[in-house]
Amino acid sequence: RILETDLCRLPEDDNQVNSKLRLSYFKLPSNLKRCFAYCSIFPKGYEFNKGELVQLWMAEGLLGWGRDKSEEELGNEFFDHLVSISFFQQSVIMPLWTGKYYFTMHDLVNDLAKLVSGEFCLRIEADNVQDICERTRHIWCCLDLKDGDSILELISKIEGLHSLMVEAHGYGDKRFKITTNVQQKLFSRLKYLHTMSFSSCNLLELADEIGNLKLLRYLDLSYT
């Protein structure tokens, strides 16, 4: 569960987050605060589209329920509200053939999301490996050939993990590949996963142990 932190409890002298952002966050309803905090797993400059992010929120059960609205309708409203207060900004990159518009968070907004999510969300890059807290529930990582397997083995020990989003660094033969052995460890231990993405990883097949992930609601294998 993502930590819900009131901005009045954050350091007043933190110059990374200005007062207007604090106030905008403070006014959000609790379930929208959770959805925003979840976005702290994305690295600065990361581009996402509306449909995919709403699906992630739904998979994690962050939206709650509206009286006369489906989860997806509520998620779309939440996304639009975060755009209206400039927490999300449309990317300058045009949709081209995909027909999808992409969005980003300003670096200061990203800093705010990281502050309010605390240790519940973590992003890992190959050149910036950190200790992983057992209370961490959502992880995004970009891995390379050198350290990828060892990092995923560390992640496999966080048995309460809900989200695992893996991207591969490099191209062609130098792009990270998730081995069957590592997959088996992940799928056997991380039984509480709701969301898993191996987008852009060099992946030929999934280990049979993926059947252990009974709670999985979102799986992204695009560009593998």
List C-alpha distances in Å: 169 to 40, 44, 45, 130: 20, 16, 16, 18
- Residue 11 CB: number of other CB atoms within 10 A? 9
Task: Tell me what pLDDT residue 22 has.
Answer: 84
The neighbouring-strand residues paired with 49 are 102
In the predicted model, is pLDDT for residue 172 greater than 90?
Answer: no
In the predicted model, is pLDDT for residue 118 greater than 60?
Answer: yes
DSSP conformation class of 128 = B
What pTM value is reported for the model? 0.85
> Nearest 5 degrees, angle CA 98-CA 93-CA 72?
55
Residue predicted with more confidence, 224 or 127: 224
For 55-89, write each residue's pLDDT tens digit. 999 999 999 876 788 999 999 999 999 999 999 99
Confidence of residue 1 (pLDDT cuts 50, 70, 90): very low
